[in-house]
Structure 1
């Protein structure tokens, strides 16, 4: 029996209570000794339990999100009556995916108001180095905008034991392909959240900043069937590096290759004064997503005192816009139009969060 048996039993009980039978089964299998860790993964993290936020009425929120009325007394009468279901409140909850083994990761999940009544979009947000989900949520203001959009937002947290600076390991070949490392872990986490909540699987997106942006590109390159579009802010193209040395070179000088072709539409933000990740990486992401250099429109403007150039790239047949490139002039390595309440956020310039949500709205898978 594993040494963390009691934790696994508690986790299985909690998952059963909230309706996640798949996760409960996985926890029971681990308790019985069947939860082996894949040998080809190089992640090394400490196991630790992360408790959910002490939100008022959390159990009731979880029950209503899954359409379960625990008030009793009517034997299910009115279960399909919309007027019998009170609106579900918004929430920002903490959780953990993968159990307390070497593949587990903490996360925060934003749940929009009234999320149980119809399938909603999901945006996976990957933070940059030294950041965490709460910091990233504050800096991007994504939860506030997702409330208006009616979208779920999932913020995985990189473990410090996996990377000392809490960077996603985008530059390692062992975290770039299906079935391996952090790309597989993140894809599995997304699928688990889709299965546990009222989410439209055709409207699942991923966005990230810096190392998170590079990992977002890796993720859609490895799992194009899972995501409808990607947003890369101050990041790098998929496959830009294979190890730390080539990763640092790509950050400083731009990628040596065009990167792996992206089979999903992409929106890219990059400051042309970024001295951490060279702006040439933004060009490379766009080229990997558009498949051509064909422009359909170029726009220039100024927002909050910051000039920008926006270029739209069509797909191969010259029809629908497939890639959108925002170059923010004079901006450094920070999320454009963000909030000073978070790190690596620039309060001036075009609102990257709002523009990404607008771009995502325009692209649904299938």
Structure 2
């Protein structure tokens, strides 16, 4: 069998595996009362692919608002993600725009998974889904007069794999990233879907990330979320996300970097009926007023968005017994402003 044939067979096998393992969703819920604001839906064409995307824009939008780019997982649409994770009410309350990116018709062939999961080697600053999402982000920044130093990316499942690529290839665009149930930069599905079989040492991934950042390299703040009972993307992969970015950032911060052990640890229980217990580990740089890294471990949670809608139409997508990942991510992002070398706390 030729190399190209083997690659094609492997790609098909991965898609079949992901179909069974990664999260399934139902059709969007019947229309209900929306939070005050509007949904703007548009398309973006990159080469032969036409992507769709929608933005939630609060009615009372301040001057120079922040922007959160939300990237859905496999077998999910932007609209389903928007209804499930309940970012819109937070955006309305605090006055920021949320961009929900979606794939192209081609992505239907890979179960709506982003290519950062299946073929990360084909992604770059100028190619693949990463480049398309960055372009949609820039269009949104211009359209809504977004503060360019307060742009954040947040991904779920295959969207989380894509988010780690965005952080590496576009540190000059995204001030911070959030990775929910995903894996480290360039890790891909092999070893981080199903059983944990790491294929590349974390130290090597950290160095590859710094190389991908190129001349735009800077300290990248990262928040991670992962259920420790996740059968689809191993919990160890979620922990590796934080360690990979800690090591990458330390290549810039040496000799006074981010310590290997958390600077603080918090135990809690989600304030909902039968709420999951969780652990929040935080890493801070010396003399920093806000975290550089944070990992939320949701105990006994499987492959779901933590918190979010309890509507039956979201039941196969969210676990409302967990703490709100949307609220925690925004709390983390809202204090961070991008600078040329890293970030400033606000």
TM-score in terms of structure 2 length: 0.74
Q: In the alignment, which residue of structure 1 is the partner of 2:70?
A: 125
TM-fit CA distance, 1:290: 2.2
Paired with 1:229 and 1:107, the residues of 2 have a C-alpha distance of: 21
3-state SS, counterpart of residue 283 of structure 1: helix
CA 1:288–1:301: 2 relative to 1, 3 Å: same
Larger helix fraction of residues: 2
1:346 matches 2:293: no
CA contact (8 A) 1:255 1:284 kept: no
CA RMSD of aligned residues (A): 1.8
Q: In the alignment, which residue of structure 1 is the partner of 2:58?
A: 112
1:239 matches 2:182: no
**Aligned runs of 1:236-315 on 2, under 5 Å?**
236-241=183-188, 247-251=189-193, 252-253=195-196, 255-256=198-199, 257-258=201-202, 259-260=205-206, 261=209, 263-291=219-247, 292-303=259-270, 304=272, 305-315=275-285
Question: What residue ranges of structure 1 are gaps of 5+ in the alignment?
Answer: 1-88, 242-246
CA contact (8 A) 1:175 1:183 kept: no
Question: What residue ranges of structure 2 are gaps of 5+ in the alignment?
Answer: 1-35, 211-218, 248-258, 340-346
Q: In the alignment, which residue of structure 2 is the partner of 1:27?
A: none
Q: In the alignment, which residue of structure 2 is the partner of 1:43?
A: none
How many residue pairs end up in the alignment?
Answer: 270
Out of 83, 94, 103, the position equivalent to 1:149 is 94
TM-score in terms of structure 1 length: 0.70
Paired with 2:192 and 2:303, the residues of 1 have a C-alpha distance of: 15
Paired with 1:355 and 1:219, the residues of 2 have a C-alpha distance of: 20
**Aligned runs of 1:33-48 on 2, under 5 Å?**
none
TM-fit CA distance, 1:174: 4.3
Larger Rg: 1
**Aligned runs of 1:325-364 on 2, under 5 Å?**
325-341=295-311, 342=314, 343-364=316-337
Over residues 309-354 of structure 1, what are the superposed CA-to-partner deviations in whole Å (9 max), with x where a residue is unaligned? 1100123x46352100000000000011111333421011111000
Larger RCO (alpha carbons 8 Å, 6+ apart): 2
Over residues 153-173 of structure 1, what are the superposed CA-to-partner deviations in whole Å (9 max), with x where a residue is unaligned? 011112242343000011313
